[in-house]
Structure 1
Amino acid sequence: MTSPASPSSRDFFIAAAALLIAMVGTTLPTPLYAIYQQRLGFDASWLTIIFSIYAAGVIAALLAVGSWSDQLGRRPMLLAGLSMGAISAVIFLCTDSIGGLLIGRLFSGFSAGIMTGTATVAVIELAPRSWKNATLMATAANMLGLGLGPLLAGFTSQYLDDPLHLIFYVHLVLLLLAALGIAVIRETVKRPAQLKLGIQKPSVPASVRGVFISASIAGLAGFSVAGLFTSMVPSVMIHIMEARGGLVIGAVIGLFFVASIVGQASLQWLPKSQHMNLGCVGLMLGMISLGLSIATAQLLLLILAGLLAGIGQGMILRSGMGAVTASSPPDQKAAVTSAFFVVLYVSISVPVVAVGFSVQAFGLPHVGEFFASLVALVALLAMLSMKRVQSRQAAVSSAGN
């Protein structure tokens, strides 16, 4: 049960910063994979397995402990998420094998799984009452962290010494600062007399189900795009566009996530009934640009694809997350939010696995063009489905009046 005490701005920003720092760690390895491949001698199929291990860790954490903060409290689970990120960073500092990369990414997935559900709810609960954009702050912190990770790692790997280790030392320091901050913020949950902890079954209360399904359909398209950008785009830039600099690769991937924040922020000036539709249109235009960039080997078209697809994905994420959290019962917010993120991370992982195992058979250009077209089609179907849901809700509302 949420405490009625008035939240403070300090606690709100600390929780948002902790979420951002944790999510930075989940994308730090992205521009480093080319170096790992060169030093360890593994092929592109291993990148698929490494990413799949990360997604599996996220989903496992969401299902296993996603609802625990509704009983244990937000702070203990946030500290656990930051600890998982620190373990991942230590593993990356010590590893010199593919097995080490897999274990490091697994713990990174645990960190992301714990933080996404718990920290999103914590940021919203700790927001000052005068703030009307708490959901934007939570989702923006998530996306900005994902975008900063490849940008920072790309810079340190290209311009500073020790390209595979320095950035993880920096991240360990940031995680420690985040943990110190979380230790002093206000707890928003009162523990029940008897704890009931266990593995969460992906269930959603009946009162939330309609909103949840609608948001999940669009989220499927949006996070499929995120999966393609974090897994396929580095290979496209290296092998098709011959872009070798880690900073350039990190900047293009980071642009997608920064554009996501722009898309989220822009919703406050747009009609609420059109939020999902506009997001799906942005995804479709972005995927068309991605397909053309692969076909023509044009970096500018790839940048345009990241910009358009990121804006669309951001619109979908914010509107979907806002609707889901607003309609969830207070004592089930973390559980429902975690269930929503399970859907999103399944969406982000499936395209990665499919691309990885298709490239060797059909070649990167053909696979890239095909999956860009497929995601555009999913976005179109999501938009049409959303319109049907809105029409049905409007009919029910009219009948009730």
Structure 2
Amino acid sequence: MLTVTTVVLMAAASAPSPIYPLYRRRWDFSVTLLTVVFAVYVVGLLGALLLLGPVSDRLGRRPVLLAALLLATASTAIFWTAGGVLSLVVARTVQGLATGTAVGALAAGLVDLSPSQRPHAGTTVTAVGTSVGLAASAAVVGLLVESVAHPDTCVFPVLTCVFLLLTVAVWYIPETAAPAPDAPPRFRPSVRVPPGSRHRFLAAVPALVAGWSVTGLFLALTPSVVTGVLHVRRGAAGGMDIAALFLAGGLGGMWSARHTVRRATLLGGALLTLGSAGLAVAITLPSPYVYACGAVVAGLGVGLTYNGNLRAIGEVTTAQSRSGVFSAVYVVSYAALSLPALAAGFLTPVWGLRTTSLVYVAFVGSLSLITLVHAAGSPAGGHVHRGTSTVPTGRTAATKRTKRADVCHSPSGGDGPTSGSRGH
């Protein structure tokens, strides 16, 4: 059920993107205002992550998910009845609050439920489920844009009903994190990464920023780029390019599970760089076919780097800190998703859509090169998964032996594994 919830939340997040050109024609607003509509989603999401990210570690996963699903239901209902740009802004803000409330609890809950023989199953499901939800929604809504006059009146009623059903279903799921009665949640802006997780977290930042920046390009600007720069008039084209990116991201996430973290990030950085170059060539020519190929290659890179780094971070979290750490990951990710796209929206009236898109792609390519160089310089090691077994490689085996010795002599509590927590 947590997997289904992840997929549906991500599907709702990408559903408006293929409809944006229709909204622009219907209510006559600019690309700049469109990126503002996109950005308020991330503002709501980051606000929820900062305030509520670690709360499920203290209250439990289920009550946090119930609140998030009720917010998601409200957001799709507002989309359903939208009558202007202000309605879009309100709907996207509430949708961002819902997603930000849910993602940390979902990621932590999936890791909680991972079988001991496959400890990375939860992070893989999180990464792949995110990509599948975004891809499926973009593809379906893109086809509806081409075949139905008002696709929003088809999409958002269905999503509203699905969220209501998920709310009922989540009510009955077992709790995976026992509430802590002696530690009431504090609702103040903070995301804390414990010292034991900090090194892995900081090492993942370049890849997270690179991958989610290209995601922002596609969700915020690609439908406009496809029609205004690549001169494709089919309404489904923008949604299909978004779907291609995220479907490739899901495949890259599954592919990543067969490699060590270093190898997955190295390969992902190379593919992100190559994909960014392809997107730049496509915009310069212009060529919608090269653009689609660049989307696929970049998507594979996003999936490899994202899942690889989620696995690396998941290894060094405990049940008491897991939701907070994953929330910190999402703060970085969604800031990278929104800020470059928002900047592009304000620059478009000055530079034009074509030049702005080229600069955006160059920015993503530079970050991808940094990711590639960082991965190439990191020590070899990690875990290679074959079926249900986990095989330590290189330095990782020695590191694990050292950690086991340290745990035996460390006091309980803090951020290290204890007798009451599951280490990964």
Asked if TM exceeds 0.5, the reply is yes
Which range moves more in the overlay, 370-379 or 268-277? 268-277
Q: C-alpha displacement at 1:271, in angstroms? A: 4.4
- Taking the aligned partners of 1:115 and 1:243, their CA distance within structure 2 comes to 36
Please give the per-residue CA displacement for 1:79-128, whole angstroms capped at 9, x wherever unaligned.
11111111111111222111111010001111211222111111221234
Which range moves more in the overlay, 238-247 or 386-395? 386-395
Aligned equivalent of 1:4: none
Q: C-alpha displacement at 1:387, in angstroms? A: 3.6
User: What is the Cα-based RMSD across aligned positions, in Å?
Assistant: 2.2
Q: Residue 93 of structure 2 is aligned with which of 101, 106, 110?
A: 106
Aligned equivalent of 2:157: 169
The answer for unaligned runs of 5 or more in structure 2 is 383-393, 403-424
Q: Residue 134 of structure 2 is aligned with which of 131, 143, 146?
A: 146
Q: C-alpha displacement at 1:257, in angstroms? A: 0.6
- Taking the aligned partners of 1:326 and 1:184, their CA distance within structure 2 comes to 29
Q: Residue 280 of structure 1 is aligned with which of 269, 272, 278?
A: 269
Is contact 1:61-1:113 (8 Å) kept?
yes
Instruction: Give the helix-richer structure, 1 or 2.
Output: 1
Letter in 2 for 1:313: V
Q: Residue 228 of structure 2 is aligned with which of 231, 239, 264?
A: 239
Which range moves more in the overlay, 275-284 or 245-254? 245-254
Query: Is 1:352 equivalent to 2:351 in the alignment?
Result: no
Which range moves more in the overlay, 385-394 or 253-262? 385-394
Is contact 2:69-2:98 (8 Å) kept?
yes
Which range moves more in the overlay, 183-192 or 130-139? 130-139
Aligned equivalent of 2:21: 34
Aligned equivalent of 1:21: 8
Q: C-alpha displacement at 1:388, in angstroms? A: 3.7
* SS of 2:379 mapped into structure 1: helix
Alpha-carbon distance change, 276 to 81 in structure 1, aligned in 2, over 3 angstroms: same
Is contact 2:262-2:375 (8 Å) kept?
no
Query: Is 1:296 equivalent to 2:285 in the alignment?
Result: yes
Is contact 1:21-1:178 (8 Å) kept?
no
Aligned equivalent of 1:187: 175
Query: Could you tell me the TM-score, scaled by structure 1's length?
Result: 0.91
Please give the per-residue CA displacement for 1:24-81, whole angstroms capped at 9, x wherever unaligned.
1111110111111111110111011111101111100100111111111111111111
Query: Is 1:82 equivalent to 2:69 in the alignment?
Result: yes
Q: Residue 122 of structure 1 is aligned with which of 109, 127, 130?
A: 109
Instruction: State the number of aligned residues.
Output: 387
Letter in 1 for 2:368: A
- Taking the aligned partners of 1:29 and 1:272, their CA distance within structure 2 comes to 33
Letter in 1 for 2:14: T
Please give the per-residue CA displacement for 1:188-229, whole angstroms capped at 9, x wherever unaligned.
111112313222413211111110001112111111110111
The answer for unaligned runs of 5 or more in structure 1 is 1-13
Q: Residue 202 of structure 1 is aligned with which of 191, 205, 208?
A: 191
Alpha-carbon distance change, 288 to 186 in structure 1, aligned in 2, over 3 angstroms: same
Please give the per-residue CA displacement for 1:311-347, whole angstroms capped at 9, x wherever unaligned.
0000111011111122012201000100111001111
- Taking the aligned partners of 1:268 and 1:375, their CA distance within structure 2 comes to 24
Aligned equivalent of 2:122: 134
Q: Residue 50 of structure 1 is aligned with which of 37, 44, 57?
A: 37
Letter in 2 for 1:139: A
Letter in 2 for 1:191: P
Query: Could you tell me the TM-score, scaled by structure 2's length?
Result: 0.87
Aligned equivalent of 2:405: none
Q: Residue 367 of structure 1 is aligned with which of 356, 359, 366?
A: 356
- Taking the aligned partners of 2:366 and 2:231, their CA distance within structure 1 comes to 29
Aligned equivalent of 2:251: 262
* SS of 2:29 mapped into structure 1: coil
Aligned equivalent of 1:214: 203
Q: Identity over the aligned pairs, expressed in percent?
A: 26
- Taking the aligned partners of 2:87 and 2:319, their CA distance within structure 1 comes to 40
Q: C-alpha displacement at 1:297, in angstroms? A: 1.6
Alpha-carbon distance change, 395 to 189 in structure 1, aligned in 2, over 3 angstroms: closer
Q: C-alpha displacement at 1:130, in angstroms? A: 4.9
- Taking the aligned partners of 2:150 and 2:37, their CA distance within structure 1 comes to 22
Letter in 1 for 2:174: R
Aligned equivalent of 1:3: none
Aligned equivalent of 2:416: none
